[in-house]
């Protein structure tokens, strides 16, 4: 009977395709143990729904890229999207590095955080100050430059960048206001001194227009993200003002660089206080991500086991993210201890190697790696 042959062919095709399935695909992966042991952070991300990322440098080596794809499901551009990196002269934008990064992240199916459109303190456009000084109307000129950069850069990567750090560190480095005096460590916030706080709302509105689907974050360097800490409270108030003004802000990045003295109040003090702080931001209607976590090992040299103490700090932060529903991601600021910005930064290079990350210089997982896994897995319970 002719009808039988097609059915037989179909059954044969189905049998062959099932046999072709790789074993891993058919055997269901066992869930990670609550200790995180034996699980990559990418597996932990899949099981918890919390993105786990790392910063990728412009000069990322093949080894660093392999570390990233083996361990994480998200990346943040360490420098590529900064104004100084993209525009060495007024009116010119070089997309070479950012095009390469966006293409690589998409090819590797890594969620990309583009960091950052506007940061007054470091790596701002080197020509901006002179440009505004030469303009008869600096505020109009600055508004025009912010609009041009945002439309050009966000528009170019429409649909390809998941999160934009639209504004980085708007608040004063040490304090609750804005940098208004020019000093070597804390140059004035030229965006704020020229346009007032409105520059923040303008930048978010323009970014939303250029890519309505991208999530828009404000990223801040807090020393101890805690209600009652003046800078942390100032950030809460700023976000509340932006939300009240219906500014299209989707999230807040808490950088969480654990880089100053552990005795100072500026060190991730405890899981409950960080969780309470993330919850307070969440109540304002924004997502929260830990965006630049690293922990300077020399700060813990007086501990009986510095690597275990470092892991405990990482655990504190990861647990807080897992316990606070608004926390959607955790990013560490690098892969291996062989490269960290801390080893060349003026305030921390004296204690190099700072060994702040999750993989040692040889790429081996440190205690901190499993501590992050275990901390994030608290969400699964």
CB of 221 to ligand G3I, least distance (A): 6
Minimum CB separation of residue 235 from ligand G3I in Å reads 14
User: What is the distance between the alpha carbons of residues 175 and 231, in angstroms, rounded to a whole number?
Assistant: 5
Structure tokens that stand for 254 in this block: 């808490």
Q: Of residues 341, 355, 359, 375, which one binds ligand G3I by CB under 6 A?
A: 341
What is the helix, strand, coil percentage profile of the chain, to 5? 45, 15, 40
| Rounded distance between C-alpha atoms, residue 51 and residue 328, angstroms | 6
* Residue 164 and residue 207 in contact, taking contact as beta carbons nearer than 8 Å: yes
> Rounded to the nearest whole angstrom, what is the least distance from the CB of residue 98 to ligand G3I in the complex?
13
Q: Is 224 in the site for ligand G3I (CB under 6 A)?
A: no
Interface with ligand G3I in residues 241-260 (CB under 6 A): 255
Between 124 and 370, name the residue whose CB sits nearer to ligand G3I.
Answer: 124
Q: 228 Cβ partners below 8 Å, 6+ apart?
A: none
What's the residue count for the chain?
Answer: 381
Q: Which residue is nearest to ligand G3I (CB)?
A: 341
Please list the residues that pair with 327 across neighbouring strands.
288
**Taking CB under 6 A as the rule, does residue 338 contact ligand G3I?**
no
Does 354 help bind ligand G3I (rule: CB under 6 A)? no
Residue 92, helix vs strand vs coil:
coil
The answer to whether residues 89 and 368 touch, using CB atoms and an 8 Å cutoff, is no
Q: How far is the CB of 254 from ligand G3I (least distance, A)?
A: 11
Q: Is 168 in the site for ligand G3I (CB under 6 A)?
A: yes
Nearer to ligand G3I by Cβ, of 80 and 376: the residue is 80
Site size for ligand G3I, by CB under 6 A? Answer: 11
Per-residue x/- mask for ligand G3I, residues 85 to 124, rule CB under 6 A?
A: x-----------------------------x------xx-
Q: How far is Cα 57 from Cα 77, in angstroms, rounded to an integer?
A: 7
């Amino acid at each position: 009977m002719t009808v039988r042959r097609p059915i037989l062919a179909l059954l044969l095709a189905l049998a062959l395709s099932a046999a072709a399935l790789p074993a891993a695909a058919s055997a269901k992966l066992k869930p990670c143990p609550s200790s995180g042991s034996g699980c990559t952070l990418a597996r932990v991300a899949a099981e918890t729904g919390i993105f786990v990322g790392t910063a990728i440098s412009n000069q990322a080596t093949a080894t660093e890229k392999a570390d990233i794809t083996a361990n994480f499901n998200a990346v943040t551009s360490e420098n590529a999207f900064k104004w100084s990196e993209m525009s060495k002269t007024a009116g010119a934008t070089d997309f070479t590095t950012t095009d390469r990064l966006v293409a690589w992240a998409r090819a590797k199916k890594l969620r990309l955080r583009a960091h950052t459109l506007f940061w007054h303190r470091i790596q701002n456009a080197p020509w901006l100050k002179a440009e505004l000084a030469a303009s008869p109307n600096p505020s109009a000129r600055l508004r025009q430059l912010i609009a041009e950069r945002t439309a050009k850069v966000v528009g170019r990567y429409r649909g390809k960048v998941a999160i934009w750090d639209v504004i980085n560190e708007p608040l004063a480095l040490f304090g609750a206001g804005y940098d208004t005096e020019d000093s070597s460590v804390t140059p004035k916030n030229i965006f704020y001194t020229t346009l007032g706080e409105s520059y923040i709302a303008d930048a978010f509105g323009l970014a939303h227009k250029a890519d309505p689907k991208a999530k828009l974050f404000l990223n801040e360097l807090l020393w101890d993200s805690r209600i009652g800490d003046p800078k942390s409270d100032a950030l809460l108030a700023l976000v509340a003002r932006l939300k009240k003004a219906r500014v299209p802000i989707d999230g807040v990045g808490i950088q969480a660089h654990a880089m100053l003295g552990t005795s100072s109040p500026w060190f991730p003090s405890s899981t409950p206080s960080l969780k309470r702080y993330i919850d307070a931001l969440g109540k304002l209607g924004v997502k929260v991500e830990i965006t630049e976590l690293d922990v300077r090992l020399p700060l813990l040299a007086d501990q009986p086991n510095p690597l275990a103490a470092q892991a405990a700090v990482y655990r504190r932060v990861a647990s807080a993210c897992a316990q606070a529903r608004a926390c959607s991601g955790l990013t560490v600021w690098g892969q291996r201890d062989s490269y960290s910005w801390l080893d060349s930064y003026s305030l921390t290079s004296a204690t190099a190697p700072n060994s702040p990350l999750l993989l040692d210089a040889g790429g081996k997982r440190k205690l901190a790696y499993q501590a992050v896994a275990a901390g994030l897995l608290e969400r699964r319970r």
